[in-house]
Structure 1
């Protein structure tokens, strides 16, 4: 596939790095320093120029493009890039936007702006926060097979009942597969005798009920978030409150700016909006914020979100979720005590990448900054898995692969060694990113 990416920010870089091994990739950006850096760090073609200019796109060989991805930090620029590309070719166009209103306009008039698919960063982030907040100790959560199967990555506290037990001892669930453990800088594909340690992050794949049961087992905090406090009425904070409202919650939202507080209060009928500074200890005590199950920091800077998260933890909040725009801060945030750090640009890159995969790849979830992925693949008749028992078929796959679940005609099948994969099955697979392209080709 020939892919043109306009915008070499974090989203563009992440997509380019993910695609460089299997596709012809061209990245266009206005910044000469960024273009030069990418030239030496990735095996791609880079062009300095304006992606809204057809001459620049032609220099990138637009006529050869199968896919054009516009992912600059400006919504209007991305729409114009897609429109320009669509006017000259039949390439599939993807636009990244931040404003939900622009997404809703596009949804009501499919094909508007010359955009074939639109990704809304703030809405994706809000939905990720909601999924994570619903499971205690979860670090990452995603769904597959139209919600039939769920993947979750859990922090395992030292006090957890499954710490210091083997996977075989911990596995008491009817429809759950232990896929992998992230331990410091190491990734371990689990076996029955693999010991789970406090501080590990365990990736499990299974039915929603089994994932919920597992969450209850590993958790050292209340079962689910009922009292939700969102700090900051940024667009992400606002969309997060809407997402909780849509699922029957009545969150509280703290916003310092009186005009913005009034605006979101009118738009969020089931959210209690409080005008105050969230770093005011007297206010937090008066409003019993310390009794919240989760505090979500959605302010306009990473540093403010870190401060609010640490303050929330200090006053007794069970769980903290912080938005980060700088990916290098993710490990720092979680090291100093923030339970979950969510990067909006990573969420966007993940959503876009699935469009670059083969026609059989249905869903993609990236883990630990793309060290591994969980993917849903519709199995064709030529797959190495078809007609064979999994224990035998997986011998032909590279190391670092776990078949986590199978969806067959709407039914969830928990794979075992004797399970035989059939054509048209949807298999959910944990894959080490280093062997991803080989695995997709084989499956």
Structure 2
């Protein structure tokens, strides 16, 4: 594909790095230094200029592009760039990153012919909110074509390696230390493994309670560190779910803004002179969950460690740097993708997901899920499908009538069947070929 990316910040850089493998990528930004770094490491075409200035696009006039992606930090810049691109370039699809949820409710997307709008603040906030329903879980993923869920949980309460009896679910991945692998049947779970479970959520909840006896069974009292846009968005979600929220911020201006936007429904606490006294004076140690939601990953880690030190078992850090993922897990911190990582992953998932095959990543990008449903008009109905010849490092299941069936032998496909596969990232290309080749 011919792809144009407007914005060479962290999201644009990561997209260019991923998409430049196998695609022709052009990236536009007014930061010459950022473009130079990109050009040094990637096979891309850089264009120096303001994405809101039509003059910047003169090199692309009358050219065709399969995809235009606008991912700067500014909604206005992203919207204007899509208008200019639409006018000067023959663009087939447009994807845009936006902060203001108003644009999701307006008709602007349709008027501008935008194929996909991504709202990273909302994605991150909703991810945090899912933890309210699954207090013991590290992460929860839902899917469009099945009620089954992918839920990860730390095996912190196991005292020894244990073979888990799997009924209504299966173990589709284990992160042990820094290594992720897809376990074979009979592989024991070891203490402090991060275990990925797929299947009936009621059955998985029972196992989660067995794996983790320390985390509260329900979450009612929440602390949010950081009163920027993300902290406010998370606080709103928690309040909507009826939770008690205390929002902590050292910048008094942000405190005042948050107080106004939240209409006094969250208690605002200033930590201008540190947080040590706050834990004792405000009773923060009695919180059920603490979320560090500043735009500084290192600061988020420190706040989580402080909270754990004061006895809070469920600590969540918003993370925008993949390199901190392993460190956070080693420290027992729940990791939630920050707005930048959410934007990057949401855009890639929209590109890699077709009307036939859905592709999702998990375990911090170390693992991949493929999912394919047999629709009413599918050519697969009545066809006998065989599993891949080499089954190492992968697990494939057939979901039929709410049953999770290991896909180990040839099966005749029926309408409504769902095939779902799990594998580590390094083995994903082979599994992807199998799913698309059905």
Tell me, yes or no, whether TM beats 0.5: yes
Given that 2:96 and 2:114 are in contact with CA atoms closer than 8 Å, whether structure 1 keeps it comes out as yes
Deviation at 1:128, TM superposition (A): 1.4
Moved more, 1-10 or 57-66: 57-66
**Which of 432, 437, 440 matches 2:432?**
440
Cα 1:427/1:60, change in 2 over 3 Å = farther
Matched, 1:69 2:66: no
Deviation at 1:351, TM superposition (A): 1.0
**Which of 262, 268, 279 matches 1:268?**
262
Distance 1:58 1:361 in 2: 37
Cα 1:335/1:172, change in 2 over 3 Å = closer
Deviation at 1:188, TM superposition (A): 1.8
Cα 1:405/1:55, change in 2 over 3 Å = farther
Determine the structure 1 residue equivalent to 2:367. 372
Cα 1:198/1:25, change in 2 over 3 Å = farther
Given that 1:377 and 1:427 are in contact with CA atoms closer than 8 Å, whether structure 2 keeps it comes out as yes
Deviation at 1:40, TM superposition (A): 4.9
Deviation at 1:421, TM superposition (A): 4.0
Secondary structure at the residue paired with 2:117?
strand
Deviation at 1:216, TM superposition (A): 1.7
Deviation at 1:43, TM superposition (A): 4.8
**Which of 206, 212, 215 matches 1:219?**
212
Cα 1:439/1:53, change in 2 over 3 Å = farther
Q: In the TM superposition, what are the counterparts of 1:26-425 in structure 2 within 5 Å?
A: 26-54=26-54, 56-57=56-57, 59=59, 63-88=63-88, 89-101=90-102, 103-104=103-104, 107-113=106-112, 115-145=114-144, 148-157=147-156, 159-160=157-158, 164-166=161-163, 170-174=164-168, 176-220=169-213, 221-258=215-252, 260-268=254-262, 271-277=265-271, 279-340=274-335, 342-357=337-352, 359-360=354-355, 363-379=358-374, 381=378, 387-388=383-384, 392-395=386-389, 399-404=392-397, 406=399, 411-416=401-406, 417=408, 420-422=412-414, 425=417
Deviation at 1:269, TM superposition (A): 5.6
Cα 1:34/1:254, change in 2 over 3 Å = closer
Given that 2:6 and 2:12 are in contact with CA atoms closer than 8 Å, whether structure 1 keeps it comes out as yes
Given that 1:251 and 1:270 are in contact with CA atoms closer than 8 Å, whether structure 2 keeps it comes out as no
Q: Deviations over 1:2-48 (max 9, x none)?
A: 32222233322333344344544333333444334434544544444
Deviation at 1:256, TM superposition (A): 4.1
Number of residue-to-residue matches in the alignment: 428
Deviation at 1:219, TM superposition (A): 1.3
Given that 2:353 and 2:359 are in contact with CA atoms closer than 8 Å, whether structure 1 keeps it comes out as no
Determine the structure 2 residue equivalent to 1:431. 423
Given that 1:156 and 1:200 are in contact with CA atoms closer than 8 Å, whether structure 2 keeps it comes out as yes
Q: Deviations over 1:49-106 (max 9, x none)?
A: 44344565464587321221111222222112211222243421111123334x345x
Secondary structure at the residue paired with 2:170?
strand
Distance 1:40 1:376 in 2: 36
Distance 1:273 1:85 in 2: 45
Given that 2:352 and 2:358 are in contact with CA atoms closer than 8 Å, whether structure 1 keeps it comes out as no
Given that 1:144 and 1:363 are in contact with CA atoms closer than 8 Å, whether structure 2 keeps it comes out as no
Distance 1:361 1:216 in 2: 36
Determine the structure 2 residue equivalent to 1:8. 8
TM-score by length of 2: 0.85
Distance 1:76 1:291 in 2: 42
Distance 1:27 1:178 in 2: 41
Gaps of 5+ in 1: none
Q: Deviations over 1:354-380 (max 9, x none)?
A: 221252356443223422222333357
Over aligned residue pairs, what C-alpha RMSD do you find? 3.2
Distance 2:397 2:33 in 1: 42
Distance 1:344 1:90 in 2: 26
Given that 2:140 and 2:150 are in contact with CA atoms closer than 8 Å, whether structure 1 keeps it comes out as yes
Cα 1:185/1:262, change in 2 over 3 Å = closer
Cα 1:388/1:54, change in 2 over 3 Å = farther
Distance 2:62 2:323 in 1: 33
Gaps of 5+ in 2: none
TM-score by length of 1: 0.84
Distance 2:41 2:70 in 1: 21
